[in-house]
Amino acid sequence: MRYFIVDAFAQGAYLGNPAGVCLPEQPLSTRQMQRIAAENNLPETAFVTRARGAYQIRWFTPAGEVDLCGHATLASAFVIRHVLEPHADRVTFQSVSGPLYVDTVEERFRLDFPARPARRTEPLPRIEAALGAKPLETYLARDWLVVLDSEQTVRGLQPDFAAMAKIPQGDGVIVTARGESCDFVSRCFYPKSGVNEDPVTGSAHCNLTPYWAERLGKTRLVARQLSARGGALACALTDDRVLLTGGARLYLSGEISTAYLSEELS
């Protein structure tokens, strides 16, 4: 099975978020896909197959399947654009979160994803304890969204991941603040999914973009994720959709042994 690692939302080598992209030529069970993702041990591995004029996409962390992933979708579109369909300016994916679109824009990739505004909630003491910082506001969608007082506070966080993994509800914790040299910054933590800190998280910006668009009174924003690898995204809000634009770099291409695909995994 052909396999690629692509750094998504990357502005250079060894930056952005590495995603695995698998192109199965034979059906794989959910269990096989999960085992392969665990073996890859990347933040996300995408499995992409042809499906009725589009591509079917599924995403797995080392610990489980997720319902939406931005950086692995961008990485998959990169592989399609550079390997499968060199002249495709738009790629359509079918997913559990509905149709997703990726356009090529001057050698960068623009994701068209559903907006996911989060609802405001009461502060959760366990989040404050796990972060070691006091939230200004707390919201909940698929993940917890926590607003902090400054970029420096976001940058300096040293979370207690064991405590964070025990926080009820929410797949992960997104922290954000107004940016110093951009509109907003963030960091994203997913210890429940086997990823303590995700380097650059497209799906989180489906929450962050509506929040900051309303807060700042503008629909086009520039964002940075302050992980060790770092990443930059151009974000736009259009009705109930979020547009996320970033670059990608191919790190590795190869293949996964057919022995692994044919054996009954136990």
Amino acid at 228: A
Q: Which residues contact 239 (CB under 8 A, 6 or more apart)?
A: 115
Among the listed residues 25, 39, 44, 65, the single catalytic one is 44
Whole-angstrom distance, CA of residue 186 vs CA of residue 42: 20
Whole-angstrom distance, CA of residue 197 vs CA of residue 48: 25
Helical spans, DSSP H, in 44-150:
70-79, 125-131
Cα→Cα distances 77→23, 40, 58, 243, Å:
12, 19, 13, 15
> In the annotation, is 128 catalytic?
no
* Structure tokens that stand for 183 in this block: 């509109």
Q: Give 154: exposed, middle or buried? Use CB within 10 Å, 0-12, 13-18, 19+.
A: buried
Query: What residues act catalytically?
Result: 44
